[in-house]
Amino acid sequence: MKKRVFSGMRPTGKLHLGHLAGALTNWVKMQDEYDCIYGVVDWHALMSDYADSSQIRNNCREVLLDWLSAGLDPEKCTICIQSHVPQHAELHLALSMITPLGWLYRCPTYKEQILNIQNKDLSNYAFLGYPVLMAADILLYKAQLVPVGEDQSAHLEIAREIVRRFNNFYGDVLVEPQIKLTPTPKVPGTDGRKMSKSYGNAINISDSPDVLWEKLRTMMTDPAREKRTDPGDPEKCPVWDIHKVFNSDEDQKNELFEGCRTAGIGCVDCKKKLREHVEKAMIPIRERRAKYENDETLLQALIHEGARKAQVMAGQTMEEVVNAIGFVPRER
């Protein structure tokens, strides 16, 4: 029996090369080895974007297209939209009954966001409960493994504590999930900071060859290398970091490294080489994107089938949950 895996992403916009090199590559690998369920968690997006929900629908579509183009295969894994599986909301309600407020107030991501996010009013009930909804996502499928970044570890710890508390009260129904830390190569954006949509420095998975080159061409390099004749230091160059991720030609990388340090090669030539490698990686990605983007019926069928598969698993767990709690058994 394959181990069960759940992970999710909030639909907040187009995904970029950072997502591709981190989470997505990892998710694509995992779909062969595990029984994976990947969710576009639109309820989670509403939690912070409730005052303007106008982008959520389109963002779900973008995320799905990015996932499929990156190589998530609906034949190998289950891809669903969270709100299409109503059991997420139902289990969230059940778990909210037994989750002590202290666990939520103490959560470092909660404290951090309340302090740092000023343009949104986050003083609402569900925002505090973010980790409870996330726990419901995972526990609904009895996932044993959850591939996420280090930033999610506190949420996973809360999910595990919720399982222990639930099982203590009602018997062994839920499964304690384990975190599976995603290896995340360093992918800086065009300005040298971490690639992020909110910094406006992202190269998107869906960028056309022209847009991609324009972003690479104008990307920051070693700031100390002002003139073509100045030697540079690749270790201080964000373009070099992207080479490390997308360029597997070791001989060429050695040449570029030495060329930079001796001013033998200019930044534009180095970027042109990088462009070739990124473009090569993008070929299958763009091919898959075209297939789904131009076939709305196919995309809709896939969304529908994903929801159906997820509902079967989720329905099973919810039945066990309400029976364990001791509610009146449901008509089947």
Smallest distance from ligand TRP to CB 163, Å:
14
Residue 90: how many CA atoms within 13 Å on its side-chain side? Answer: 15
4, 5, 6, 271: residue in contact with ligand TRP (rule CB under 6 A): 6
Nearest approach, Cβ of 130 to ligand TRP (angstroms)?
7
Binding-site size for ligand TRP (CB under 6 A) equals 14
If the CB atoms of residues 46 and 298 are measured against ligand TRP, the closer one turns out to be 46
Are 23 and 9 in contact by the 8 Å Cβ rule? The answer is yes
Among 10, 160, 273, 289, binds ligand TRP (CB under 6 A): 10
Binding status of residue 222 toward ligand TRP by CB under 6 A: no
Q: Measure the CA–CA gap between 60 and 144, rounded to whole angstroms.
A: 26
Site string for ligand TRP, 28-57 (x = CB under 6 A): -------------x--x-------------
Rounded to 5 degrees, φ, ψ at 38 are -120, 130
Give yes or no for residue 88 binding ligand TRP (CB under 6 A): no
| Minimal distance, residue 61 CB to ligand TRP, in Å | 18
11 binds ligand TRP (CB under 6 A): no
Work out which of 25, 31, 78, 152 binds ligand TRP, going by CB under 6 A.
152
User: What is the C-alpha to C-alpha distance for residues 304 and 248, in angstroms, rounded to an integer?
Assistant: 38
Pair 205, 17: CB distance under 8 Å: yes
Nearer to ligand TRP, 44 or 277 (CB): 44
Per CB under 6 A, the list member of 28, 134, 278, 310 interacting with ligand TRP is 134
Burial class (CB in 10 A: 0-12, 13-18, 19+), 327: exposed
- Which residues of this chain interact with ligand TRP, rule CB under 6 A? 6-10, 41, 44, 134, 137-138, 146, 148, 152, 155
